[in-house]
Chain A
Amino acid sequence: MADHVLLMSLYSGIVSLFFAVLSRREKGEQIRLFLTLFLGLMGGGLALAWLMFFFPSGPPAPIP
């Protein structure tokens, strides 16, 4: 499971679900908060990834 996007989606989904269940009682409100958080996390991650595109790193460090 080395797909970065899949892992980011999983992480966003888990964290969003957690906070939606923790902070809201009504089902509709939970779903709304879940979607808001999930899209925010995914969108934020993609935005940061694109920002980093303009600042490429050097060669990978050797494994010790």
Chain B
Amino acid sequence: MAKRSKSEKEDEFVPKVNPYFAAALAWLIPGGGHFALARRGRGVTFFAIILICLGIGISLEGRLPWQFSNAPLTTLATFGALGSGLPCLMLRLGFGYEGDMTAAGYEYGGAFILTAGLMNLLLVLDAWDIAWGKEDRVAEDQDDPEEST
């Protein structure tokens, strides 16, 4: 049987789950994208990690950045924090959470909250790759290195 090239494998791959749906779900619910892509264990693990990180940030009364103009770095931090999706939106829009500037853990907590968002953004990218079968192709290439070029 003739060996297939990497581009041939990429061309014939048909996603089982809509990659846009997987990415959107991954953003909205931490670990949700992986759960929808039948990586349930990892989905639950990522959900727990991100929620714990967010929870520590909130317990420290950390800063939840929420500014979309005039301050470029704060705007960037806002989009970073928004990376955690529904939890961040609920915190800000549902509970009006901002953090307490006078709290001892304001900056530390802000770091945890921002990191949770950024980690979830990585999960969005990973869910996209998995939906397009890149994870399986990487595993195939590792099994058969001659095909990886």
Binding site for B on A (CB under 8 A): 1-2, 7, 10-11, 14-15, 17-18, 21-22, 25, 63
| A-side contacts of B104, CB under 8 Å | 2
Counting CB contacts under 8 A, is B60 at the interface?
yes
B86 to chain A, nearest CB (A): 19
Q: In the complex where A2-B105, A22-B126, A63-B102 touch, is A14 in contact with B49 (Cβ < 8 A)?
A: yes
Taking a contact as CB atoms under 8 Å apart, the answer to whether B119 and A18 are in contact is yes
Number of contacting residues on B, CB 8 A? 22
Min CB–CB distance B45 → chain A (angstroms):
6
If A21-B42, A63-B102 touch, whether A7 touches B49 (CB-CB below 8 Å) is no
CB <8 Å contact, B102 and A11: no
29 A–B contacts from the bound complex (CB under 8 Å): A1-B59, A1-B105, A2-B104, A2-B105, A7-B60, A7-B105, A7-B108, A10-B56, A11-B111, A11-B112, A14-B49, A14-B52, A14-B53, A14-B56, A14-B112, A14-B115, A15-B119, A17-B49, A18-B49, A18-B119, A21-B42, A21-B45, A21-B46, A21-B49, A22-B46, A22-B123, A22-B126, A25-B139, A63-B102
Asked whether any CB of chain A lies closer than 8 Å to the CB of B90, the reply is no
Render B36-61 as a binary contact track against A, CB cut-off 8 A, 1 for contact.
00000010011001101100100110
Given known A-B contacts A18-B119, A22-B122, A1 and B60 have beta carbons under 8 A apart: yes
Chain A, residue nearest B126 (CB): A22
- B139's nearest neighbour on chain A, judged by CB, is A25
Closest chain B residue to A7, Cβ basis: B108
List of 9 A-B pairs having minimum Cβ-Cβ separation, nearest first: A2-B104, A14-B53, A18-B49, A18-B119, A7-B108, A21-B45, A17-B49, A14-B49, A22-B126
- CA distance in complex: A33, B105 (Å): 29
Nearest-neighbor residue (CB-CB) of B53 within chain A:
A14
Q: For chain B, residues 90 to 149, give those with C-beta under 8 angstroms from any C-beta of chain A.
A: 102, 104-105, 108, 111-112, 115, 119, 122-123, 126, 139
